């Protein structure tokens, strides 16, 4: 559960902090700044949300990194934009990047990371990131925003390179590779707080290029997603088999429905508690907007909260999917 659910940005303290239960702090937090008003407006009008994803596999050995680069460049068909002026081109671009970054030496460096057995284990040579926006966003503007972001975030400390993809999936996204070992010998560590800040900065750079973009927490938008359900939904669409774990979860929910003893499962109270805090925070935002004359935006904020989907656990989402499919089958038989 995120600690800061509604962060108004612009260097301000988050309005809604679980630890303080939305209590007001000092320093005129009863009035929203123009930048904060703009942030609220983007959120309630559902400006496209930026996405940054970290890929974890294949980053600890040269072969894995080379495979990843070859995949990104389509084996040399696409150029690699680098932190230097000239891009890398052709079939040897992966090898050229590995040599330029001296990754072969990094792979041989002793590390301080120990496995459970007490042996040294390899650390990441690179970090693999994906910066993406919804379909319809101008690809070159996404690339330009990522270049600006990387220049500010990594330029003085870490080597980086990137490739723009626009084919699969059909939304523009930029793959970024960052050398894990910095110029000063310190390693880049990516934490949840790091990603939160990166999303805000990526969105800011997109807006600088004229692209509507926002970076809020899922909880603040009233969005609930259980990652394990993605496999069920994708497999159902493809008519493929699903994992044993997901299949068993689906069967267990179906059995409970047949017996009429369904329970929402663990985490329901936490979801409800988080939603209560989110609603409280948005109500406070609406009150402040009305107090400073932003009546229309205040009304939009209240409607935004009213339109939030109910917070559902994984089991409840599976139940909703099963009931929806059952209703569709019933309608099909009646036709």
In this structure, what token pair is assigned to residue 84? 């230097």
In this structure, the dihedral spanned by the alpha carbons of residues 275, 276, 280 and 282, taken in order and rounded to 10 degrees, is 20
Q: What is the DSSP letter of 39?
A: H
Whether residue 37 is found in the same domain as residue 158: no
Whether residue 66 is found in the same domain as residue 149: yes
Residue 237 has pLDDT above 60, yes or no: no
Per-residue pLDDT at 68 = 95
* Strand pairing report for 51-55 and 126-132: antiparallel
Whether residue 197 is found in the same domain as residue 296: no
Q: How far apart are the first and last CA of the chain?
A: 45
Residue 96 has pLDDT above 60, yes or no: yes
Render pLDDT for 73-95 as a digit per residue (tens, 0 to 9).
998 999 999 998 789 999 899 99
Render pLDDT for 31-76 as a digit per residue (tens, 0 to 9).
888 989 999 999 999 999 999 999 988 888 899 999 999 999 998 9
Percentage of the chain surpassing pLDDT 90? Answer: 52
Q: In 10 A of CB 277, how many CB atoms?
A: 20
Task: Please enumerate in sequence order all residues whose Cβ is within 8 A of that of 40, keeping only pairs 6 or more positions apart, or say none.
Answer: 8, 32, 285, 289, 297, 301
Q: How many domains would you assign to the chain?
A: 2
Whether residue 62 is found in the same domain as residue 165: yes
Residue 297 has pLDDT above 60, yes or no: yes
Whether residue 139 is found in the same domain as residue 169: yes
Among 14-18, 311-315, 319-323, the minimum mean pLDDT is found in 14-18
3-state DSSP call for residue 116? coil
Radius of gyration in angstroms for the set of CA atoms belonging to the chain, rounded to a whole number = 23
- Residue at a domain's end among 208, 225, 250: 208
Per-residue pLDDT at 17 = 41
CATH number at residue 201: 3.30.930.30
- Residue at a domain's end among 208, 241, 258: 208
Per-residue pLDDT at 9 = 59
Q: Answer with the residue of higher pLDDT: 98 or 14.
A: 98
Render pLDDT for 190-222 as a digit per residue (tens, 0 to 9).
999 999 999 999 999 999 999 999 999 888 998
Domain that holds residue 99: 51-208
3-state DSSP call for residue 212? coil
Q: Which of 318, 327, 142 is nearest to 246 (CA)?
A: 318
């Amino acid at each position: 559960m995120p600690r800061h659910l509604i962060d108004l940005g612009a260097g301000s303290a988050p309005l809604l902090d679980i630890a303080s239960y939305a209590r007001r702090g000092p320093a005129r937090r009863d009035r929203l700044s123009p930048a904060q008003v703009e942030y609220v407006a983007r959120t309630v009008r559902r400006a496209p949300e930026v996405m940054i994803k970290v890929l974890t596999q294949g980053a600890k050995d040269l072969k894995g990194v080379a495979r990843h680069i070859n995949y990104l460049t389509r084996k040399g068909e696409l150029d690699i934009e680098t932190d230097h002026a000239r891009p890398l081109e052709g079939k040897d671009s992966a090898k050229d990047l590995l040599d330029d970054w001296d990754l072969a030496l990094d792979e041989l460096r002793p590390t301080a990371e120990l496995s459970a057995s007490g042996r040294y284990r390899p650390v990441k040579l690179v970090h693999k990131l994906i910066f993406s926006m919804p379909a319809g966003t101008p690809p070159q503007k996404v690339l330009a925003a990522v270049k600006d972001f990387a220049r500010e975030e990594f330029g003085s400390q870490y080597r980086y390179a990137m490739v723009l993809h626009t084919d699969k999936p059909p939304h523009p996204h930029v793959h970024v590779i960052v050398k894990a070992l910095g110029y000063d010998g310190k390693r880049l560590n990516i934490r949840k707080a790091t990603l939160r800040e990166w999303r805000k900065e990526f969105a800011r750079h997109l807006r600088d290029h004229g692209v509507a973009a926002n970076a809020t927490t899922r909880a603040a938008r009233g969005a609930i997603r259980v990652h394990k359900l993605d496999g069920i939904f994708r497999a159902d669409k493809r008519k493929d088999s699903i994992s044993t774990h997901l299949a068993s979860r689906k069967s267990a929910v179906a059995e409970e429905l047949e017996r009429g003893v369904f329970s929402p499962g663990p985490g329901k109270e936490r979801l409800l508690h988080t939603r209560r805090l989110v609603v409280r925070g948005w109500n406070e935002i609406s009150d402040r907007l009305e107090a400073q004359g932003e009546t229309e935006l205040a009304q939009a904020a209240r409607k935004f909260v009213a339109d939030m989907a109910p917070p559902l656990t994984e089991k409840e989402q599976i139940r909703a999917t099963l009931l929806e499919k059952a209703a569709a089958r019933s309608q099909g038989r009646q036709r």
